[in-house]
Amino acid sequence: MPSQDTRTLLQCAVPTAAVGAIAAVVSAVVAGGEGALGAVVGTALAIIFMGLGMFVLQWTAKSLPHLFQAMGLMLYVAQLLLLLMFVGIFRDTTLFNPKAFAAGLVVATVVWMASQARAHMKAKILYVEPDSGKSDSSKSDKPEKSGSST
């Protein structure tokens, strides 16, 4: 993973984990240990899904650049549907508090998306490839005008 991608991943994962820790503390106060566990599981699930999605998008950008935008839209829809599916699956669980799980999952997902948007806005990514192998002397070898001199 290139350094820019790693930087973006960290700029998304760190705030999400911090908000997840806050959600776990709030859930522990409100719903006890089961609430804290639910918030931690929800946050971890959001970080895993969104991190894998970022990895897939970076792979798509390098391998199939013509599908990048469509893949991004499809990936976000798929991620949100899968996260909604997990909320439905764990709705009646007794392992942890399902409301704290859902709250942790939603808050972590929103923070991840906001952090990702901010990271991309702050990133200095070139959208035009600079001429890397040409020097100024090679440019002067070409004539300036191609028309007749008379």
Asked if the structure places residue 145 within a domain, the reply is no
Q: How many domains does the chain have?
A: 1
pTM: 0.74
According to DSSP, residue 42 is labeled H
Residue 137: pLDDT band with limits 50, 70, 90: low
Report if residue 137 sits inside a domain.
Answer: no
Q: Name the 3-class secondary structure at 64.
A: coil
User: Is 74 inside any structural domain?
Assistant: yes
What is d(CA 83, CA 149) in angstroms, rounded to the nearest whole number? 69
Distance from C-alpha of 99 to C-alpha of 105, rounded to nearest angstrom: 10
Candidate from 21-25, 93-97, 125-129, 133-137 with smallest mean pLDDT: 133-137
pLDDT above 80: residue 139: no
Cα–Cα distance measured from residue 15 to residue 19, given in angstroms and rounded to the nearest whole number: 6
Residue 134, domain member (yes or no):
no
Evaluate whether residue 129 is within a structural domain: no
Whether residue 143 lies inside any domain: the answer is: no
When comparing pLDDT for 74 and 138, which is higher?
A: 74
Question: Residue ranges of the alpha helices (H) in the chain?
Answer: 3-63, 68-89, 98-122, 136-140
pLDDT tens digits, residue range 42-100?
999 999 999 998 888 888 888 888 888 888 899 989 988 988 888 888 888 888 898 99
Question: Does a structural domain hold residue 17?
Answer: yes
Q: How long is the chain?
A: 150
Confidence (pLDDT) at 142? 56
Note down the domain range covering 105. 3-124
Residue 146, domain member (yes or no): no
